[in-house]
Structure 1
Amino acid sequence: MTQSYFPIFWNTDSGTALVVGGGEDAVRKVRLLVAAGARVHVVAPGAVAEIEAYADEDRITLSRRPVQDSDIAAAAIVIAATGIDTVDSHCAATAQAHGVKVNVVDRPDLSTFIVPSIVDRSPILVAISSAGTSPVLARRIRERIEATLSPNLGKLAEFAAGLRDRVAERLSDGRKRRAFWELFLDGYGAEGVLGNRPDTGRQAADELLDTLSRDEKPKGRVTLVGAGPGAADLLTLRALRALQRADVIIYDALVGPDVLDLARRDAFRLYVGKAKGRHSYSQDRINGILIDEARRGSYVVRLKGGDPFVFGRGGEEISALRDADIEVDVIPGITAATGAAAALRLPLTQRDVANVVSFATAHPAAGQAEPDFSALADPKQTAVIYMGKTKASEISAALIKQGRRPDTPVAVIENATLPDQRILTGTLGDLPAVTSISDLTGPALIVIGDVVSEADLSTSESLTEAAAKDRAVA
């Protein structure tokens, strides 16, 4: 039967932690104890170099001898980590006889407490325990939690502690104080502190205190968030935090359901996707929605595929929001080009092959010039074309006319990073075949350059063969 444990945190000022043993098991426990600020006494005839270094730096006391019963009786807690059954069992029995809590590494049957896996964001600590049944599983859970918590979470806790007296002084009503902390911790003030911008935190706190003390509604704001190339686990941690705080999420066609599943459940969601020839929402209308929602006091996330500033029209939205005096910030995302390159193990730049990479769109804004194909014709350059499927023939002809070799390797990547990713390869001369592949319907990127030959193309299809099959089926 599994032992039952009640989680508590030990006050390191209450006594000495005795570690018996000088090997790798012991040093892992010593690291945790030293990091927590404990007074540590290590007793062992010999010790590994890291323990010796702690002793040389006066961060622990090291007694180079066998453990004595008096060492155990004088300790507040004991960790036995010798790996020698007779020694560890004796430590456990002696500790329990003196009423001292003891942990024997990998022996929950001899222990009166266990050491959890710890996520340390001091003064915030998260402890994970499997009740001794599976330490490796507990470590795996810790790794997942580590990945979701900002490294600066401790700074936010200390920042909040510094605000407590001022908040209590300005807001005598307990409900308003709770509202302040909820709004601050869910808003851009906390995000500023987590991003090493304490001035932003102070500004947000001042604005909230002024607003709540006057019984006004807090100001809204907008964050432009890059959702990455499609795979939910390529979302940045900062983007994840924004999604989980958002009141309103305005998202486009390149944002998949797996990304939206990570958002706050009760957030209002509005799809404003655009596709070629089908614009359900104009850009001006989207700008107006962002402004209106922020003016209602909402925290609005404008969620875009890829990166907001790489053919994402983020600049237009920021300009409109600034003109409306709406606070706005940006969380970058992995743009489709780097996502596709990673999926193919394709280096966009590589010494002696390509020393420049250029991103271009095949569909500029109305009234603007087509891409400068002469600037994309350098054989030492990798050209990445966004939204180029329907203009593949024009791209091929223009680049060849500008001097790019017809046999330059080309890759077309559809739905990069997603389970249904598809890779088509060939040459610049083959590229027009893209327009005749009817089932190539997802978002696709065209990569042109000799670096394509360096990619992992084991799962790729031939452009010309795919087009021929399509014609045969038709």
Structure 2
Amino acid sequence: MHSLPLFVRMAGRPVILLGEGEAADAKRRLLERAGANVVGEDRPAALAIVAIEDEGEARAAVARLQARGILVNAVDRPDLCDFTLPAIVDRDPLLIAVATGGASAGLAKAIRQRIEALLPAGIGRLAEALGQAKGALRARFPDAADRRAAIDGALAEGGALDPLTEHDVHAVARWLASAEESAETRLVTIRLASPDPDDLTLVAARLLGRADRVYHRANVPLAILDRARADAVRIVCDKPPADPGMGLSLDLSL
């Protein structure tokens, strides 16, 4: 992973923007849309965007800013960037960022457009409803593992809250009223075809993305384990225990 994606709250935050022309104007619109306070080079700031066309001037500006400890994005110059700006799918409060580390803005844009075509127009309302229901979710599922498994099941393909299906404003409330009281305990055995993550079947990839814990042999490569949820417990063992734990567990072997 070449970069760690971060979402930074920009409301009222000063950001230096240097340059003129189409690229600078586009970055200004983006910053203002996020609520940033666009300022000049002489102002204190933690972030800066350099949209200067002249190569020498751009490099000099980046050097000055980085010398002050400011993180810099240099438009069309990925080798000078401390951070890059992704292609964004905005379904407020849902944000999806697509980045290539500066390798190809065109590729990032094309993928963003494909994702936008998949998402229902009202998916932002679903995100808001889930946020407003946090208290009710904790009351209904006091155990964190049960709560996570219930939400995962509802948001799965074909689930009550499948995010690729249009829902009305009462969908989350209806689901909570009828949701199961406890999560299913399940252990799924996956025999990997190869150590290459590109050889994962669609089913295996989806299960890795949903599992609460992953029991695996020592020879299962990190590239495959990294396809699991970041908060999934990873346990090296020759054989999973008789009681694997609540929720979804996987047994991975090569």
Using the size of structure 2 for normalisation, the TM-score is 0.63
Query: Relative to 1, partners in 2 of residues 1:24 and 1:137: Cα closer, same or farther, differing over 3 Å?
Result: same
Sequence identity, in percent?
Answer: 34
Q: 2:93–2:124: 8 Å Cα contact kept in structure 1? A: yes
Looking at structure 2, the residues matched to 126 and 192 of structure 1 have their Cα atoms a distance apart, in angstroms, of 13
For the 8 Å contact 2:15–2:38, the answer to whether it is kept is yes
Report if aligned partners of 2:126, 2:167 keep a CA contact under 8 Å in 1: no
Alignment of 1:278-427 (within 5 A): none
RMSD value, Cα = 3.0
Equivalent position amino acid for 1:29 in 2: K
CA drift of 1:167 comes to 1.4
TM-aligned CA distance change 1:6 to 1:14, over 3 Å: farther
Q: SS in structure 2 opposite 1:75?
A: coil
Between Structure 1 and Structure 2, whose CA radius of gyration is higher?
1
Query: 3-state DSSP class of the match of 1:5?
Result: coil
> In the alignment, is residue 172 of structure 1 matched against residue 142 of structure 2?
yes
Q: Which has the higher contact order (CA 8 A, sep 6+)?
A: 2
Once residues 198 and 142 of structure 1 are traced to their aligned partners in structure 2, the CA distance between those partners, rounded to angstroms, is 26
**Equivalence for 2:126:** 156
| 2:152 paired with 1:195 | no
Mapped partners of 1:171, 1:135: distance in 2? 43
Instruction: Give structure 2 stretches of 5+ with no counterpart.
Output: 185-201, 205-254
Equivalent runs, 1:33-432 vs 2, <5 Å: 33-41=31-39, 43=40, 69-71=41-43, 74-186=44-156, 189-190=160-161, 195=166, 197-208=168-179, 211-212=180-181, 265=203
Shift in Å, 1:14? 7.7
Q: 1:277 maps to what in 2?
A: none
Call closer, same or farther: CA 1:191–1:110 in 2, change over 3 Å.
Answer: closer
* C-alpha distance in 2 between matches for 1:193 and 1:106: 34
Return the structure number with greater helix share: 1
Shift of 1:150: 2.5
Taking structure 1 as reference, are residues 138 and 101 closer, same or farther at Cα in structure 2, changes over 3 Å only?
A: same
Does residue 30 of structure 2 align to residue 32 of structure 1? yes
**Contact 2:66-2:72 at 8 Å conserved across structures:** yes
The 1:124–1:130 alpha-carbon spacing in structure 2 relative to 1, beyond 3 Å, is same
Deviates more, 1:95-104 or 1:77-86: 77-86
Q: Distance in 1 between matches of 2:29 and 2:12?
A: 19
Structure 1, unaligned runs of 5 or more: 44-68, 217-263, 267-474
Q: Aligned partners of 2:107 and 2:153: how far apart in 1? A: 35
C-alpha displacement at 1:85, in angstroms? 2.7
Q: CA shift at 1:196, angstroms?
A: 5.2
Matched-pair contact (CA < 8 Å) for 2:19–2:52: yes
Q: For 1:8, which of 6, 9, 14 is the aligned residue? A: 6
Q: Given that residues 23 and 51 in structure 2 are in contact (C-alpha distance below 8 angstroms), is that contact kept between their aligned partners in structure 1?
A: yes
In 2, the alpha carbon distance for the partners of 1:140 and 1:95 equals 32
Name the counterpart of 1:21.
Answer: 19
Q: How big is the shift at 1:97?
A: 0.6
Give distance in 2, aligned partners of 1:201 and 1:172. Answer: 17
Aligned partners of 2:155 and 2:163 also within 8 Å: no
CA distance in 2, matches of 1:102, 1:192: 35
SS in 2 for 1:176: helix
TM-score, length basis structure 1:
0.35
1:147 positional shift: 1.8
Mapped partners of 1:37, 1:189: distance in 2: 35
One-letter amino acid of the counterpart of residue 197, structure 1: D
The 3 A distance-change label for structure 1 pair 7 and 201 is closer
1:434-473 counterparts in 2 under 5 A?
none
- How far residue 102 of structure 1 moved from its aligned partner, in angstroms, is 0.8
| Residues 12 and 36, structure 2, Cα contact 8 Å, conserved in 1 | no
The alignment partner of 1:12 has SS state of coil
Give deviations 1:149-202, integer Å, cap 9, x for gaps.
Answer: 233222211111111111111222334312321233236642599635112332
C-alpha displacement at 1:21, in angstroms?
2.4
